[in-house]
């Protein structure tokens, strides 16, 4: 069950604010009854929802892989007016049809899945399904095996001990290092805070895999539809 204005927006008919106006004007019916109360919930699969007498049909599921560049908010809007995924989708004419799955902070880049499949998105974000996320991280120094061992066992942060992570040094440079780390949690800025707890500053952070889906060679700012095989394996990973 979702709010009626959200259903209309996701169907690509209007922005959520415009959909609210339609509801208040009495243009929307659910199972033959005019609904004018904002916040009313409905189910697009089970209920017959109409706007101006025209039946709303569930849009086909869409799945895209987007390489979010750094310095972009991975949400539909930002009160501070910074670049956001929502603004980008609006420019592509896809706002209301797609939304980002999960978080990727402002200064991080990499794989972000965009979809209109609410159930799949919810499961991908839910810790019960333990979807693994792989990151490539450039640090201000090169961590020792002993330090990496702390991450592999779980390291204490202000919001509790992290789950064990898989981590390895990919390339040790003169003053810093590239490291790959795989986690199954979704805490706020978790990877950054894990390395900060060891005394390292994260210079770059790129998500290169989410579950079975890989970023590959997609350049920052580019988007592509997921293949049929990618969609199948992604949905299978969350029991769909």
pLDDT for position 86: 87
Where residue 160 falls (left for φ over 0; alpha for ψ -120 to 50; beta otherwise) is left
How many C-beta neighbours within 10 Å does residue 180 have? 17
User: For the purposes of burial, counting CB atoms within 10 Å of the CB of 161, is it exposed (0-12), middle (13-18) or buried (19 or more)?
Assistant: exposed
Asked if residues 134 and 207 have their Cβ atoms less than 8 Å apart, the reply is: yes
Number of H helices and E strands in the chain, helices first, is 7, 17
* Distance, C-alpha 192 to centroid of its chain: 18
Residue 172's beta-bridge partner residues?
177
How many C-beta neighbours within 10 Å does residue 8 have? 26
pLDDT for position 12: 65
All residues at 6 or more sequence positions from 12 whose CB lies less than 8 Å from its CB, including other chains: 59, 96, 97
Q: How far apart are CA 141 and CA 153, in angstroms?
A: 21
Q: Consecutive sets of 10 residues in the chain, 240 residues long: mean pLDDT of each?
A: 84 79 95 94 91 88 95 90 88 71 94 89 88 97 97 96 97 94 93 97 98 97 95 94
pLDDT for position 88: 86
Q: How far apart are CA 212 and CA 240, in angstroms?
A: 14
- 3-state SS class at 51: strand
pTM value? 0.80
All residues at 6 or more sequence positions from 40 whose CB lies less than 8 Å from its CB, including other chains: 3, 4, 23, 30
Domains contained in the chain, CATH given: 2-55 (3.10.290.10), 63-127+213-237 (3.30.70.580), 132-210 (3.30.70.1560)
pLDDT for position 119: 80
Average pLDDT of the chain, as a whole number: 92
Asked if residues 31 and 45 have their Cβ atoms less than 8 Å apart, the reply is: no
User: For the purposes of burial, counting CB atoms within 10 Å of the CB of 144, is it exposed (0-12), middle (13-18) or buried (19 or more)?
Assistant: exposed
All residues at 6 or more sequence positions from 37 whose CB lies less than 8 Å from its CB, including other chains: 23
Query: Which of 43, 47, 78, 105 does the annotation list as catalytic?
Result: 105
Told to judge if 117 belongs to the known catalytic residues of this protein, a careful annotator would answer: no
């Amino acid at each position: 069950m979702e709010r009626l204005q959200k259903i209309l927006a996701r169907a690509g008919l209007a922005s959520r604010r415009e959909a609210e106006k339609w509801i208040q004007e009495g243009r929307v019916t659910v199972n033959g009854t005019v609904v004018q109360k904002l916040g009313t919930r409905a189910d697009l699969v089970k209920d017959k929802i109409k706007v101006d007498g025209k039946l709303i049909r569930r849009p086909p599921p869409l799945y895209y892989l987007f390489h979010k560049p750094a310095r972009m908010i991975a949400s539909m809007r930002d009160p501070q007016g910074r670049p956001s995924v929502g603004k980008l989708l609006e420019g592509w004419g896809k706002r209301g049809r797609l939304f980002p799955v999960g978080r990727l902070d402002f200064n991080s880049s990499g794989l972000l899945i965009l979809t209109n499949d609410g159930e799949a998105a919810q499961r991908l974000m839910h810790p019960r399904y333990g979807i693994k996320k792989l990151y490539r991280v450039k640090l201000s120094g090169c961590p020792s095996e002993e330090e990496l061992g702390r991450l592999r066992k779980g390291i204490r942060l202000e919001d509790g001990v992290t789950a064990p992570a898989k981590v390895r040094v990919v390339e040790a440079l003169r003053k810093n290092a590239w490291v790959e780390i795989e986690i199954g949690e979704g805490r706020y800025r978790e990877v950054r805070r894990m390395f900060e707890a060891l005394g390292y500053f994260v210079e770059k952070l790129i998500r290169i895999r989410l579950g079975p889906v890989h970023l590959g060679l997609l350049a920052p700012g580019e988007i592509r539809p997921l293949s049929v095989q990618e969609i199948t394996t992604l949905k299978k990973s969350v029991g769909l």
